Every structure is written in structure tokens, then in C-alpha cells.
Amino acid sequence: MTELKKIATRDGFGDEIVELGKENPNVLVLDIDIGKSCKTGAFHKALPDQYLNVGIAEQNGAGVAAGLATCGKIPFVVTYAAFGSMRICEMIRQEICYPNLNVKIACSHGGVTPANDGASHQAIEDMGILRTIPNMTVIMPADYNSTRKLVHQAGVTEGPMYLRFTRDAVPQIYGDDVEFTIGKAHQIQDGKDVAIIANGDTVRLAIEAAQVLEGKGLTARVLDMHTIKPLDVEAVTACVNDIEKIITVEDHNILNGLGSAVCEVVAEMGKGIVKRVGIQDRFGESAPYERLLAKNGITVENIVAIAEGMQK
């Protein structure tokens, strides 16, 4: 297996938001004092008139963004995933999603990627929580290039959105010529023995697992489900109809994230089987990122073992 170049998806956000801001002067960055860490420095430098920083005051940041959006601005509220989802959950619900305003919550430090920071900074509940709010779109891109494509699309698409990026570097999967559509699964490869549906930093595990499975004579369909809401129901339905056996993989609690969203579709179909790989409903700790994943069974080996088990 060739070693892929690694880069954090927060860098993809930081680079693409500059392009968006140059294209449309209504695009604003609203920082909450952690812009340096969330990679908005280049935007601040290039477009100072479109840059705001409201200090360490997340709730107010969400409200100010809502007010700006009512006046035609497209604010990207930038913070860490734990705070951009849970600290301001009710402001997102009341002032952004209920009035259906064009505010983007763009968060670094998704999942356990802020590994050494410990449980306080590891957001394992965020996507599930925000998925339950009407009007909200919830996205986690897999790598740098797909982040740029999806951030760009978010900037030119109306409506409230939550975008989640990695703190740590993750392997580059896609070239810069690959296209992505919000709400549409991206199929990386097709197969007939198992479907592996992943998103964010775990997509590369799905790809590697598929490669290992191939060596064992099994083929996998691998889907990058970057958008968990609106979920690409058609793609999930096709997995059930074509393959029946699905494994979901996510850097998120197994409750209410990608795996749950897929299960909701499959349960209503009355056929098919889903196995979920994700955080085992427990808080993290300060530890190397790969160790945190491994402790929760989010590994290539585990995905392969589950896929093999499903063949019996």
C-alpha cells in the first residue's frame, strides 16, 4: 500500500474560504478566538473587511451570524466542533435553523482528531445532535481536496450547514479534479460482497479495508457519505438491494451519527444488515489519535473481520 500524503482537512477549509470570500464579498468569517487553530489566518490577511472576531463568546457568535444572515451576509462561524455544536446548540436551533438562515458553522477538531487535547475537545456527539434539527445540513469531508469542493459548494448553497473538519492530518484520497455534491454519496469503488459506508477521517480506513478484503477474495463497495443529512437514501437503498451487507464507519459516537442514519433507512426497508463501527458511546482521553480509534475498534483489521463475519 502506498503511503498517501497527509494534510488536515481544516487546512482545506482555510484555503477554500479565501477563494469563496474573493468570489463573493458577502462571505464573512466570524471567528471565536480560535481562528489561528481553525486556519482562518489567510482569510483574515487577504480579506480583512470580511473578517470578524467576537472573542470567546460562541453563543453570541451564532446570534450575530444569524443577524448578519438576515441582511444577506453569508457568515461562516468558525470554532471547534465540540463548541460549534453543543455550546451553541440551542442558538443554532432557534436563531439559525428555525428561521432557515444562510449561516455555516465550520468546525475544526471533529471526532477524536484533537487527540492529545482529551475528551473536552473531542466532539463525538456533534453530527448526531445537529442532524436532529430541521433545516440543518451536516457534512464531514474525507480529505483536503474534497473539503475544498464541499466548502465551496456550501458557500454557494442557501441554508444552515454544519461542516466538520479534522484537526490532525489525514491522507489525501482524491485528486483535485474529483467532484462532490452535498447530499450525494461519493462511490470510491464498487464491489459485491459488502458495502462499506464511511465519512470523514475514516474513509481511508474503509478504502484500506477494501484492499485487504480483495486479497481475501472479497470485493467491497466503498461509499464516502460526506453528508449525513440529508442522507443519500438512494445510495443506501442501492447497497441493500445490491449487496445487503453494510458496514458503517465513522469518527463519531455509534449513536445517532452516520451508522444510525443508515440503520434508519435499512430498518424501514425490512431487509439487509448493518454493522456499525464508531466510538463506543464513551468519552475519550488524551492519547495518540490512532490509539483512540483502535480502542473503539475503528481499525482496518476490525472492519475486515466484520466483513468476513458477515459472509458466513
DSSP-derived letter for residue 96 is I
Options 29, 54, 81, 220; binder of other proteins; rule CB under 8 A: 54
Q: Cell triple for residue 233? A: 437514501
Options 71, 134, 175, 177; binder of other proteins; rule CB under 8 A: 71
**Contact flag: residue 59 with other proteins (CB under 8 A):** yes
**Contact flag: residue 91 with other proteins (CB under 8 A):** yes
Pairing of strands 161-164, 137-139: parallel
* Residues 6 or more apart in contact with residue 288 via CB below 8 angstroms: 115, 116
**Contact flag: residue 49 with other proteins (CB under 8 A):** yes
* Residues 6 or more apart in contact with residue 173 via CB below 8 angstroms: 4, 142, 143, 145, 146, 188, 203, 204, 207, 224
Options 55, 179, 267, 309; binder of other proteins; rule CB under 8 A: 55
Span near other proteins by CB under 8 A; candidates 58-66, 237-245, 260-268, 274-282: 58-66
Options 1, 2, 72, 312; binder of other proteins; rule CB under 8 A: 72
Q: Cell triple for residue 52? A: 470578524
> Residue 79's closest CA among 30, 112, 117?
30
Could you give phi then psi for residue 197, rounded to 5 degrees? Answer: -110, 120
Q: What torsion, rounded to 10 degrees, do the Cα atoms 246, 250, 254, 257 define? A: -90
Of residues 16, 58, 208, 250, which has the active-site annotation? Answer: 58
Options 34, 68, 261, 277; binder of other proteins; rule CB under 8 A: 68
Options 99, 132, 158, 242; binder of other proteins; rule CB under 8 A: 99
Report d(CA 112, CA 129) in Å as an integer.
Answer: 16
> Least distance (Å) from other proteins to the CB of residue 165?
24
Pairing of strands 137-139, 227-229: antiparallel
Span near other proteins by CB under 8 A; candidates 48-56, 176-184, 207-215, 259-267: 48-56
**Contact flag: residue 94 with other proteins (CB under 8 A):** yes
23 annotated active-site:
no
Looking at the Cβ atoms of 34 and 139, the one nearer to other proteins is 34
**Contact flag: residue 20 with other proteins (CB under 8 A):** no
Binding interface with other proteins (CB under 8 A): 28, 49, 52, 54-55, 57, 59-73, 75, 90-91, 94-95, 98-100
Catalytic residues: 58
